[in-house]
Amino acid sequence: MSSSSTLEQASDEASKLNVQKGDHFQGAATPDFTDMIHLQDLPAEYVPEIGKHRKEGRLVIVGDVHGMRDSLQKLLHKLKFNKHHDHLVLAGDMISKGPDSPGVVDLAMKYGATGVRGNHEDRVLGAYAAMTAEHLEMPSVPDPDEKADKTQDELEELSYSHGDYKDRALVRALGKERMEWLKKCPVILRVGDCGSMGKVVVVHAGLAPGVTLEKQDATMVMNMRTIGKDGVPSDGREGVHWQEVWNKYQDKLPKKQKTTVVYGHDSKRGLQLEKHSMGIDTGCLKGGRLTAVVIEGAHSDYKHSIVSVGCPDGRHS
């Protein structure tokens, strides 16, 4: 793609954003999602080098952490992760469900990690945008009054009436600084060329084959599991898994255009390693494993390995 067409696309995107912003200023009650980052390039300094004189350094891509801070720490210890030459990428659903979402974001910030926006980050960021639009206070801890004197039924009713009660509680638990960090996580992270792996891209759920990264449907990138006969992705489990279609499509492409996708989101299927896709959600939250794809440079090519640690069941903690 030429740089001018990239620029044109960028300005197309910008004008679309302006339209949405205009609607917002006209008093629409919908939250302002215009700051969602669709596609971002991983800075070149984080991409491992190859060759005789390569610098030391690995790219460590970790699947769905879901608030399992201690498991993430254990995995990084096992890898002897060193933030001075290694780079950590979290493939979305870092937060929600598990015991310590704030702790996971703190670790990510401490290690200078790059996060990708998963369906859970998207939900919570949606709640954050709505709360910000309503000018609600953002206390750093959940408001104790909110739960006081309410029975479970009332809480459920509250949840029903607000729609996103749990998401708002998590926003409050995370606080502004962590929410702003999450907001900067792109839907699609383009790592770049990694030799025989082709171009490497990290997303939370999947990519539609034959569609440019710029034109991918962001909601589907964070949610897809299957692709229908019409070629349209879906979050349903019935039908052909998206990565089957993706791998068949990659096989037909010239070598230089092949793309390997690293993704999470599908703990039911677990580790899914194929030629041009690597599914690494191995169900840490439910007492499975937390898994990383480790990419490093060698003399004339890149190599990758899978490293994982066992996790306690984090669902009821």
Shortest Cβ 204–Mn ion spacing (Å): 6
Residue 93 interacting with Mn ion (CB under 5 A):
yes
User: Minimum distance from CB of 256 to Mn ion (Å)?
Assistant: 31
For Mn ion, which is the closer residue by CB, 93 or 100? 93
The reply to whether 96 sits near Mn ion by the rule CB under 5 A is: no
Taking CB under 5 A as the rule, does residue 265 contact Mn ion? yes
Cα–Cα distances in angstroms (integers) from residue 201 to residues 95, 189, 261, 297, 305, in the given order: 21, 6, 5, 17, 16
How far apart are CB 267 and Mn ion at their closest, in Å? 8
CB closer to Mn ion out of 70 and 266? 266
| Rounded least distance, CB 59 to Mn ion, Å | 21
Site string for Mn ion, 215-254 (x = CB under 5 A): ----------------------------------------
Q: Burial of 63 by CB count in 10 Å (0-12 exposed, 13-18 middle, 19+ buried)?
A: buried
Residue the block writes with tokens 């749990």: 166
Output the smallest distance, CB 189 to Mn ion, in A. 15
- Please report, as residue ranges, which positions from 42 to 71 form the binding site for Mn ion (by CB under 5 A): none
According to the binding rule CB under 5 A, does residue 101 interact with Mn ion? no
**Which DSSP letter does residue 313 get?**
B
Helix/strand number for the chain, H first, E second: 9, 14
Kindly tell me which of 95 and 131 has the beta carbon lying closer to Mn ion: 95
Region from 43-51, 99-107, 242-250, 260-268 binding Mn ion, contact rule CB under 5 A = 260-268
CB atoms within 10 A of CB 226: 19
Shortest distance (Å) from residue 93 CB to Mn ion: 4
Q: DSSP readout, 74-101?
A: HHHHHTT--TTT-EEEE-S--SSSSS-H
For residues 315 and 317, give the distance between their C-alpha atoms in angstroms, rounded to a whole number. Answer: 6
DSSP 257: G
Pick the binder of Mn ion from 96, 101, 114, 119 (CB under 5 A). Answer: 119
Strand partners, 115: 90
What does the binding site for Mn ion look like in residue numbers (CB under 5 A)? 93, 118-119, 265
